């Protein structure tokens, strides 16, 4: 069986603004607009398809992006250059800090539509040593 995530839809008040925001911060390209969607693709080919809907209908989503240490430095620099508030925690109680969970680095920030974005350099749980079979 081969099942891969292909795309998800992200609601935004201004889908162009939100797509350009995410593409800029993460260093990604915007693909050709298709119908009501503006796709932003990650390196594994999954697209986040931004669709414009009224603000009152937007339900906050959480999206986490796994990036390398070098990419983290570049993304973090763009976040700081853009004066975007970032947090070490998802509850936004530690502004201006990053975390070092899972043996890597991570932080959270909001996109223009109010979705919670996260960047991490190690997947959740990746620091846990698996017991070896004996």
Q: Is 71 in the site for Fe ion (CB under 5 A)?
A: no
DSSP 40-63: EE-TTS-EEEEEE--GGG----EE
Give whichever of 64 and 84 is closer to Fe ion, judged by the CB atom.
64
Q: Is 92 in the site for Fe ion (CB under 5 A)?
A: no
Q: How far is the CB of 89 from Fe ion (least distance, A)?
A: 10
Token reading at 106: 């991570």
Q: Residue 121 burial (CB < 10 Å; 0-12/13-18/19+)?
A: buried
Residue nearest to Fe ion (CB): 64
Q: Is 118 in the site for Fe ion (CB under 5 A)?
A: yes
Q: Is 51 in the site for Fe ion (CB under 5 A)?
A: no
116: Cα separation from own chain's centroid: 8
10 contacts 63 by C-beta, under 8 angstroms: yes
Give whichever of 23 and 117 is closer to Fe ion, judged by the CB atom.
117
Torsion of CA 109, 112, 113, 117, to 10 degrees: -20
Query: Using CB under 5 A, which of the segments 12-20, 57-65, 99-107, 125-133 binds Fe ion?
Result: 57-65
Give whichever of 36 and 125 is closer to Fe ion, judged by the CB atom.
125
Q: Please choose, from the candidates 52, 35, 39, 34, the residue with its C-alpha nearest in 3D space to the C-alpha of residue 8.
A: 39
Q: How far is the CB of 61 from Fe ion (least distance, A)?
A: 11
Q: Is 64 in the site for Fe ion (CB under 5 A)?
A: yes
Q: Where on the chain is the footprint of Fe ion (CB under 5 A)?
A: 64, 118
């Amino acid at each position: 069986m081969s099942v891969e995530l292909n795309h998800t839809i992200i609601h935004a008040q201004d889908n162009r603004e939100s797509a350009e925001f995410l593409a800029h911060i993460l260093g990604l390209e915007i693909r050709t607009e298709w119908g009501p969607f503006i796709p932003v693709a990650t390196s594994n080919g999954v697209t986040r398809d931004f669709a414009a809907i009224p603000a009152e209908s937007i339900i906050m989503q959480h999206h986490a992006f796994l990036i390398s240490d070098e990419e983290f430095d570049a993304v973090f620099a763009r976040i700081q250059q853009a004066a975007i508030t970032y947090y070490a925690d998802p509850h936004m109680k530690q502004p201006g800090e990053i975390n070092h969970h899972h043996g890597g680095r991570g932080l959270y920030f909001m996109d223009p539509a109010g979705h919670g974005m996260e960047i991490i350099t190690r997947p959740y749980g990746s620091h846990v040593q698996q017991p070896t079979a004996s």
